[in-house]
Amino acid sequence: MATTRASGLVLRGAPLTPAPGVVNVGAFLPRTARAHPELAAVVAPHGSSGWRTTSYAELDARAAAIAAGLQAEGLTRGDRVALLVRPGLDLIAVTFALFRLGAVPVVVDPGMGARALVRCLARTRPKAFLAIPLAHALRRLHARELASVSIDVVVGPRWFPGSRTLHQIESRGRGVCPPVDVSSDDPAAILFTSGSTGPAKGVLYHHGAFAAQIDALRGLCSIAPGAVDLACFPLFALFDAAFGATCVVPRLDPSRPGRCDPAAIANALLEHRCTYTFGSPAIWSRVVPYAAAAGMRFPDLRGAWIAGAPVAPRLVAAFRALLPPDGDVHTPYGATECLPLTSIAGAELELVRSRIEGGGGSCVGRAVPGAEVALARVEDGAIAAWPGALERGELGEICARGPVVTRSYFDDEHATALAKIPDDRGDTWHRTGDVGWIDDEDRLWIVGRKAHRIETSRGTHDPVPVENVCDLHPRVRRTALVGMGKRGSQDPVLVVEMSDGRVPRGPDGVLITRELEALRLDRLGAVGPNHPPRIAATLFHRGFPVDVRHNAKIRREDLAAWAAEELRERAGR
């Protein structure tokens, strides 16, 4: 649904229908445990090849015991807790225990590096530190920065003096520990962005926003009790308890999804008869070709959700071919600060595929329940008041508001001022940092990050339309268009990663460069709004630097620095 006012076009998803009586998101677990006590809640790896199943009644009892044990240690409502635990049963049980107490888990991507991780945690001044042994070693090395910690809990073997193990905390828990009463405006969690497109920021989630997300995802994914989720994205696994679904934890290193074992993922889908799954395109770009080559099909899989970076239509089409006739592959769009915002099913994506592969950008679909989406003029600085939405077809920064949208960053007024815009009805618009446009069918399209636009003396170019076209070359894995020089006089440089991981030399490199140029001219046209930029150079890279969370977003700033150095070396030869 879309509405047009004097201030421009706003896409609006359907209204939400929240679960009655639930505000504390920790209350979803005991509610599901009462309704389906024997239902499998978590199926996690056990040993080298086995699996261990935990029922909802067992999971709820564990969460209650851990909550009571932490409460006995002095953890209370509103206390912040650094949480560095590997995906699995312990992470799910601990997280629901913290929600139960009204404590606030702080989640940081460990892949961002030790120094950045410590800086992020130190900013939140956590009272408790619940983590694996390796993270505790890091904390001891940075005791001064993390001096706020007074409760240490090791999730794993106990080998730190003064720390308790999770088993001891759980054993100490006695009696009933029901979820505390909270309001929708009470803090629920602090989730740090990956830092792939700027400094990592702590997104402050309130219980109302989490509850709205659950409501939106339930309607969007059509998840009912008894569904089985292969949880390839750890955070999404926490929603399964609200749906009454079984969470299957795959054998997967969450910091390196792009290096997953495709056989392990494919076999888990089959063995556990998974009905839906959510994961990064880096995972499915490995699993789908493996399964197709092995002649595998996933007859129980009704919904696959791919998010975290732009998804190529050919990957969606190949994945759909492995599903039953009533199954589909969906590519939702959102951010840590606001998820979900839009979504498009593979069947509809195929209808606009020629437009995507002809320079239109990446289509991410229509507004989902609980989200309002609009475009604002592209500005680099803060915007003090909502300037009004742009019209259909105009390029602008994608902004969102609604119950699924967070309102601020934790203890970071500067970042909040840059990313949030107050409006005249007392709400807040979040600026995603993405640039896009809206088509005649109320679908949102993305052409790139605002920070990645290339401003030449002949005009501004956004990278995604060009990359979508160049990525069609049969020998190319992916491309990135980056700008060299000062804004206003930048030179566009195309960086290419080949499918075989090699750097083509001599005549082969020249041939591929010419073929890419011909492809751009053929698909984009020589003139018009989507005309290709004049590429100053084409460079070949062995493997693009990517984000730590999804292993799919290209770290363009790092790639641009590499390209600048490469061009300097060429000039000096």
Q: Does residue 61 sit in the same domain as residue 151? A: yes
Flag whether pLDDT at 185 surpasses 50: yes
* CATH number (domain holding residue 127): 3.40.50.980
What is the tens place of the pLDDT at every residue in 454-474? 999 988 999 999 999 999 999
Across 14-18, 233-237, 248-252, least confident range: 233-237
Q: Does residue 227 sit in the same domain as residue 170? A: no
Supply the mean pLDDT for the chain.
92
Tokens encoding 318: 């190949």
Q: What percent of the chain has pLDDT over 90?
A: 81
Across 158-162, 221-225, 276-280, least confident range: 158-162
User: Does 450 fall in a domain?
Assistant: no
Flag whether pLDDT at 7 surpasses 90: no
Confidence at 5, pLDDT banded by 50, 70, 90: very low
What is the tens place of the pLDDT at every residue in 347-404? 999 999 999 999 999 999 999 999 999 999 999 999 999 999 999 999 999 999 999 9
Q: What's the pLDDT at 162? A: 75
User: Does 63 fall in a domain?
Assistant: yes
Burial grade of 330 (CB within 10 A; 0-12, 13-18, 19 or more):
buried
Burial grade of 142 (CB within 10 A; 0-12, 13-18, 19 or more):
middle
Confidence at 229, pLDDT banded by 50, 70, 90: very high
User: Does 414 fall in a domain?
Assistant: no
- Which of 150, 181, 212 terminates a domain? The answer is 181
Q: Does residue 79 sit in the same domain as residue 165? A: yes
- Which of 280, 315, 331 terminates a domain? The answer is 331
- Which of 296, 331, 366 terminates a domain? The answer is 331
Flag whether pLDDT at 80 surpasses 80: yes
Q: Does residue 158 sit in the same domain as residue 228? A: no
Confidence at 194, pLDDT banded by 50, 70, 90: confident
Q: Does residue 161 sit in the same domain as residue 109? A: yes
The range of the structural domain enclosing residue 480 comes to: 458-572
Residues near 306 by beta carbon (within 8 Å), at least 6 away in sequence = 278, 279, 280, 281, 284, 315, 316, 319, 329, 330, 331
Q: Are 34 and 51 in contact (CB under 8 A)?
A: no
Query: What's the total number of domains in the chain?
Result: 3
Region 262-287 average pLDDT: 96
- Neighbouring C-alpha atoms within 13 Å toward the C-beta of 434: 27
Confidence at 525, pLDDT banded by 50, 70, 90: low
Q: Does residue 559 sit in the same domain as residue 474? A: yes
Tell me how far apart the alpha carbons of residues 161 and 152 are, in angstroms, rounded to a whole number. 10
Is the model more confident about 238 or about 374?
Answer: 374
What is the tens place of the pLDDT at every residue in 114-142? 999 999 999 999 999 999 999 999 999 99
Residue type, 425: R
User: Does 103 fall in a domain?
Assistant: yes
User: Does 273 fall in a domain?
Assistant: yes
Is the model more confident about 163 or about 22?
Answer: 163
- Residue carrying structure tokens 């020589």: 526
Tell me how far apart the alpha carbons of residues 363 and 447 are, in angstroms, rounded to a whole number. 9
Tell me how far apart the alpha carbons of residues 225 and 183 are, in angstroms, rounded to a whole number. 26
Region 163-180 average pLDDT: 88
Pairing of strands 104-107, 328-330: unpaired
Region 417-433 average pLDDT: 94
Q: What's the pLDDT at 466? A: 95
Peptide bond before residue 340 is cis, with ω within 30 degrees of 0: yes
CA 99 to chain CA centroid, Å, is 21
Q: Does residue 62 sit in the same domain as residue 165? A: yes
Q: Does residue 146 sit in the same domain as residue 231? A: no
- Neighbouring C-alpha atoms within 13 Å toward the C-beta of 313: 21
Q: What's the pLDDT at 401? A: 97
* CATH number (domain holding residue 485): 3.30.300.30
Q: Does residue 165 sit in the same domain as residue 40? A: yes
3-state secondary structure of 96: helix
Q: Does residue 97 sit in the same domain as residue 230? A: no
Tell me how far apart the alpha carbons of residues 508 and 494 are, in angstroms, rounded to a whole number. 17
User: Does 343 fall in a domain?
Assistant: no
Q: Are 157 and 151 in contact (CB under 8 A)?
A: no
Q: Does residue 174 sit in the same domain as residue 294? A: no
3-state secondary structure of 12: strand
User: Does 96 fall in a domain?
Assistant: yes
What is the tens place of the pLDDT at every residue in 467-502? 999 999 999 999 999 999 999 999 999 999 999 999
Q: What's the pLDDT at 527? A: 44
Q: What's the pLDDT at 224? A: 86
Range 5-37 burial, b when 16+ CB lie within 10 A, else e: eeebbbbbbeebebeeebbbbbbbbbbbbeebe
User: Does 484 fall in a domain?
Assistant: yes
Confidence at 573, pLDDT banded by 50, 70, 90: low
Q: Does residue 52 sit in the same domain as residue 164? A: yes
